[in-house]
Amino acid sequence: MADLAARAAELDAADELGKLRERFTLPDGVVYLDGNSLGALPAGVAAATADVVTRQWGELLIRSWDESDWWTAPERIGDKIAPLVGAAPGQVVVGDSTSVNLFKALVGAARLAGPGRTRMLVDAATFPTDGYIAQSAARLTGLTAVPTDPADVPAALGEDTAVVLLNHVDYRTGRLHDLPGLTAAARAAGALVVWDLCHSAGALPVGLDAQAVDLAVGCTYKYLNGGPGAPAYLYIAERHQAAFDSPLPGWNGHADPFAMTPGYRPAEGATRGRVGTPDILSMLALEAALDAWDGVAVEAVRAKSLALTDFFLDCVAAYVPQGTVESVTPAEHAHRGSQISLRTDNAREVMRELISRGVIGDFRAPDVLRFGFTPLYVGFADAERAARTLGHIFG
């Protein structure tokens, strides 16, 4: 234990991102490894949100749509997210939930697909809501949704494939899928690909523009630390924007929303992905939260993420009795996101005990302990303490 604790101290001392923990408000004595479900509170959000409520809303009232730039928030905040997912400005719009944005993306992709294409390949292990939305989008557009393991997608693609829906990182296992390779395979088959970035954006480089991704969606309350229920985002590659036909043509996505005309004419660019009036309170809390990324390179975050998860696995091997837990997260860096998932008996009870001892992760049925490593505020001493506490629980 002393050796691993000393090693953790050395790694933390050399960590160039370690000082970023000061940008977050975290309770004393707690190891927080659930940022892959809900990110920690950035320190500037409380004051920014208070200003939105007391001054912008309380004093300026409706004038804030113009004077506080409320109206432009979805595009402005989208441009703050864009560098974190490898996108140029003007392609990301913020608003609605991930589920709603996924529906827009899938139906929009189906409408962009060429004639004679009848299948939608859907990540077989996807987060449940993605599967529900995909089934509905397929029915509405006359496609057949086909559950497919991401590794089997290249072989499953054909001239009848219209759309492919994939998760960049599997939510249960933390497996990182090959975005460049799978995107290229879909493009070669003439299909469009929609990526769900919920468990990768803010944890590792994505490269949407560089890899010629068509459409992508993601939440902002995990590694982007936007707060509970923070609005999601929709990426529409510039080359598709003029033809993107949203299935939810709300007044906010109209070319002239205040003309109040009976006919719909979509706005230019990614703005056509907007639907209704944005949730300003959570939208501007997210904008303040993104300030925590000032001066931070995603590549540095990825390097620390891999170092943290490597070290955590070393500590688990040293502290936890052999045979009591099994990692279901790939050991290879090229296939690992920013979480470690351990399979064990009585996983729900084990996680409850961990939380009672100040180590917060989460449980996924039936037998998985999940530990999310957010490099902006998680250190190596946190990883060592979490593994040591798990070892104590197992005796």
**Residues identified as active-site:** 127, 196, 221-222, 370
Cβ neighbours of 128 (radius 10 Å): 8
List the alpha helices (DSSP H) in the chain. 2-14, 45-51, 64-67, 73-81, 98-112, 128-141, 153-156, 179-188, 238-241, 280-289, 298-319, 347-356, 380-393
DSSP state of 263: S
Amino acid at 335: H
Please state, in angstroms and rounded to a whole number, the distance separating the CA atoms of residues 101 and 104: 5
d(CA 123, CA 23): 36
User: What is the rounded (10 degree) CA torsion for 295, 301, 303, 304?
Assistant: 110
Q: How far apart are CA 281 and CA 14, in angstroms?
A: 38
H-assigned helices in 42-146: 45-51, 64-67, 73-81, 98-112, 128-141
Phi and psi at residue 161, in whole multiples of 5°? -85, 125
Of 172, 137, 167, nearest to 149 by C-alpha is: 167
Q: By CB neighbour count within 10 A (0-12 exposed, 13-18 middle, 19+ buried), where does 190 fall?
A: middle
Nearest residue to 98 (alpha-carbon basis) of 200, 254, 248, 229: 229
- Helix (H) / strand (E) element for 326: namely strand 326-327
